[in-house]
Amino acid sequence: MYIFPIVYAILLWWFSTGLILSLYGRSRKLMRLGFGLGTLLTGFAVTGLIATRDQTQTLDVYFAVTCGVTIWGWQMASYYLGFVTGPRPKPAADTRSDDDMSGFGFGRRFRLALQFSLYHEILVLVVAGLLTVLMWSHANLWGLWIYLVLWLMHTSAKLNVFLGVRNFRIELLPRQLHYLGNLLGKQSSNPLFPVSVMVASTALLGLVYQGTLPSTDAAQTTGFFLLATMITLGLLEHWFLMLPLPANIWGLAIHHVPLPVEHNNDVSTTVDSTNKEVIKGPVP
């Protein structure tokens, strides 16, 4: 009873993430096609949530969670592929170099980061509100819950990265977002991290407890363990950002994400195909 929802949640997370990553570095035409298909699929997902919002069988729980993950995946694709960003989607002249950004205070860095993603954040809130209105008074809320869980865990991870973590590699993001690396904190830890881990761990334990109660039926158990697994994956992401892991642990992923070659006077940034580390040196 417990194993299948855990495995399903992991596969669902892996597949949806892989679909988005597969579009990184592709032509704009291909990204538009992929995002258009994703938008169509998201419309079907919203329709599916409405159709099953009063159904509470185990299969309905799986379906609702799948729809919720689909909607969240579309939200992520809209930002990381550059379709819904913010009022300042590209860096201005004063935000392009590390030297210019090094003197910026926390408030200015946060305002700039928000300008780069404000429309995306508003869209996330609007969709969350829409799903709440559509689902709240009905029996099957699992699609809404999974959307909120993914949103909160992703927001927590983004805030931790902004404040400063040990192991974040900007090369893992699409190249059009690499300039955001200049806005991120440069430290091995931050005060938000223990709070994030504590809150998420408490929620995880609560979900597992509810899912294992004798009075919990099979459908509810499935829902609780699907949510718990997604929170666990989010917690692992948080710890990977903080643990002192070797830089080349990200080598395979970085190898498959096309990196830009930047020319700043006499310095260029390339990727060594053997060591898979960022190397700076003179332009030939």
**Domain range spanning residue 174?**
3-245
Structure tokens at 180: 């955001």
Structure tokens at 16: 């949806």
Note whether 60 and 140 are within 8 A (CB).
yes
Residue 28 CB neighbours (<10 A): 9
- The answer to whether residue 73 sits within a structural domain is yes
Note whether 72 and 78 are within 8 A (CB).
no
| Dihedral angle computed from the Cα positions of residues 169, 163, 201 and 143, in that order, rounded to the nearest 10 degrees | -80
Structure tokens at 145: 């819950």
pLDDT digits (tens, 9 = 90+) for 134-146: 999 999 999 999 9
What one-letter code names the amino acid at 21? L
- The answer to whether residue 252 sits within a structural domain is no
pLDDT digits (tens, 9 = 90+) for 49-83: 999 999 999 999 999 999 999 999 999 999 999 99
- The answer to whether residue 254 sits within a structural domain is no
* Number of folded domains that form the chain: 1
Query: Could you give the CA distance from residue 174 to residue 170 in angstroms, rounded to a whole number?
Result: 9
Note whether 8 and 226 are within 8 A (CB).
yes
- The answer to whether residue 121 sits within a structural domain is yes
- The answer to whether residue 260 sits within a structural domain is no
What one-letter code names the amino acid at 243? L
Nearest to residue 75, comparing CAs of 149, 147, 177? 147
Residue 159 scores a pLDDT above 90: yes
Residue 246 scores a pLDDT above 90: no
- The answer to whether residue 275 sits within a structural domain is no
pLDDT digits (tens, 9 = 90+) for 144-158: 999 999 999 999 999
- The answer to whether residue 86 sits within a structural domain is yes
Average pLDDT, the chain: 84
What one-letter code names the amino acid at 139? A
143-149-150 Cα angle (round to 5): 90
pLDDT of residue 230: 98
Residue 261 scores a pLDDT above 80: no
Q: Which residues contact 89 (CB under 8 A, 6 or more apart)?
A: 82, 116
pLDDT digits (tens, 9 = 90+) for 75-130: 999 999 999 999 986 655 444 444 455 457 788 888 888 998 999 999 999 999 99
Strand residues in the chain grouped as ranges (E):
263-264, 267-271, 278-282
Tokens 């003179």 sit at which residue?
Answer: 282
